[in-house]
Amino acid sequence: MSYAIPAPVVPSLPIIGSDQRFPVRRIFCIGRNYAEHAREMGATVDKDTPLFFCKPADAVVTDGADVPYPQATADLHHEVEMVVALSAGGRDIPADQALARVWGYGVGLDLTRRDLQAVAKAKSHPWDVAKAFDHSAPVSALRPASEARLDGDTALTLIINGEQRQHGRLGDMVHGVAEIIAILSTLFELKAGDLIFTGTPAGVSALKRGDQFHAELAGVATLEGRVA
């Protein structure tokens, strides 16, 4: 068998303390998972109907690469989020078995073309053009779960040009990691290599060309980069 065109490269993330890389299969994201952020967007949390969307695997930006300012927007927003990487998947995973499928954790930016999202919301269109564009998912190196200490007080922080823009704690998530995996697995058969962006705390705002970002999941992972 040979391909008619060159096969796409498998996107991957670096791993803290290893030369191996984590291959990315799909990127799932949950929206409105911190009540304060839902409020700042003029939305409310609907706990019974979580909001999910996807980004393509090759939207990841890794290894400190610049994020090119995307086309078709004048309002690029940052959303700092904990990123969960799966080593196994399945359908209808019970919440109490979900964390055993987590390979590791990192921190990422769910970059959003906020102006296009506002149009999509107004017209009841899907969010793909607002969320799933090229280079829309900068992600840090991953920390293996066995080495990651996380609890409700673990802080998620985003600093732009030395100034803190977002700060939250994991305990403020509406749906925790195990619950997100359990719910997602009722909608999709999850697989090894899938990433999950777990939602953003309040404080989202615009990024400009030249902005330097520093995102941190305290004690676990750090992401540095620049909008070019």
Residues 110-129 close enough to bind Mn ion by CB under 5 A: 110
> Which amino acid, residue 50?
P
Cα(56)–Cα(61) distance, integer angstroms: 12
User: Which residue lies nearer to Mn ion by CB, 62 or 117?
Assistant: 117
Minimum Å gap between C-beta 56 and Mn ion is 16
- Residue closest to Mn ion, measured at CB: 110
In order, the DSSP letters of 179-201 are HHHHHHTTTS-B-TT-EEE----
DSSP state of 207: -
Q: Are 155 and 200 spatial neighbours (Cβ–Cβ below 8 Å)? A: no
Minimum Å gap between C-beta 168 and Mn ion is 12
Left, alpha or beta for 36 (phi > 0: left; psi -120 to 50: alpha)? alpha
User: Which residue lies nearer to Mn ion by CB, 131 or 143?
Assistant: 131
Minimum Å gap between C-beta 43 and Mn ion is 12
Using CB under 5 A as the binding rule, whether residue 216 contacts Mn ion is answered as no
Cα(93)–Cα(226) distance, integer angstroms: 38
User: Which residue lies nearer to Mn ion by CB, 39 or 91?
Assistant: 39
Q: Which two tokens mark 18?
A: 């290893």
Length of the chain: 228
Cα(7)–Cα(5) distance, integer angstroms: 6
Among the listed residues 214, 223, 228, the one whose alpha carbon sits nearest the alpha carbon of residue 70: 228
Cα(32)–Cα(183) distance, integer angstroms: 15
Per-position x/- string for 57-86, each x denoting binding to Mn ion as judged by CB under 5 A, each - no binding:
----------------------x-------
Minimum Å gap between C-beta 29 and Mn ion is 6
User: Which residue lies nearer to Mn ion by CB, 78 or 143?
Assistant: 78
User: Which residue lies nearer to Mn ion by CB, 15 or 34?
Assistant: 34
Using CB under 5 A as the binding rule, whether residue 200 contacts Mn ion is answered as yes
* Binding span for Mn ion by CB under 5 A among 15-23, 108-116, 159-167, 180-188: 108-116
User: Which residue lies nearer to Mn ion by CB, 15 or 67?
Assistant: 67
How many residues contact Mn ion, by CB under 5 A?
Answer: 3
- Binding residues (CB under 5 A) for Mn ion: these are 79, 110, 200
